[in-house]
Amino acid sequence: MKAAVLDGEAFGPDRIEEFCKFPTRDEAVAKATASLLSAGARVVGAVIGPASRIANLLKAVQEKRESEAGGEKAA
C-alpha cells in the first residue's frame, strides 16, 4: 500500500503505519455495539438489583406473617 484516504484525510507513505492502526469498519461497529450493550446491562443491573432485594424482603415479611398467623390458629 502506498497511500490511503480515511474520512477525507490523506495518509501518504510516511503515515501508512498510523493508518494501519485504525480499526476496520466491522471492528468499529462491533466496539460501538459492545459499548452500548454493556452500558444498557449496567443500567438494568442497577435497577433490578435493589428491586430484587426489596422483593425478597417483602416475601420474607409475608412468610413471617403467615407463619405467625398459623401459630395463632393452632393455639
Confidence band, pLDDT 50/70/90 cuts, at residue 3: confident
Q: Where are the domains of the chain?
A: 4-74
Query: Which residues lie closer than 8 Å to 5 by C-beta, 6 or more apart?
Result: 11
| Residue 75: C-alpha distances to residues 62, 65, 68, 69 (Å) | 20, 16, 11, 10
pLDDT single digits (tens) 33-69: 998 888 888 888 888 888 888 999 999 999 999 888 8
User: Grid coordinates standing for 9?
Assistant: 484525510
